[in-house]
Amino acid sequence: DLCILHPLPRVNEISVAVDDDPRACYFKQVRNGRFIRMALILKLLGIE
């Protein structure tokens, strides 16, 4: 069991062919990171 993570952009570090691999989790990682950043910003602004 392996999950391939990368902070993106990949700029010649990971082949585009890896995108089709079911172990490529970097798009999920980016999506989750966006929600975390949104929650942190709301918390800092005092918005519930």
Q: What is the pLDDT of residues 4-38, one digit of tens each?
A: 999 899 899 999 999 999 999 999 999 999 999 99
Q: Would you state the pLDDT for residue 2?
A: 93
Map tokens 């970097």 to a residue: 26
Residue boundaries of the structural domains of the chain = 1-48
Share of the chain above pLDDT 90, in %: 83
Distances from the Cα of 12 to the Cα of 1, 7, 32, 46, angstroms: 25, 13, 23, 40
Tell me, what amino acid is at 40?
Answer: L
> Looking at the predicted structure, is the pLDDT value of residue 48 above 90?
no
Q: Are 27 and 4 in contact (CB under 8 A)?
A: no
Tell me, what amino acid is at 35?
Answer: F
The pTM of the full predicted model, rounded to 2 decimals, is: 0.68
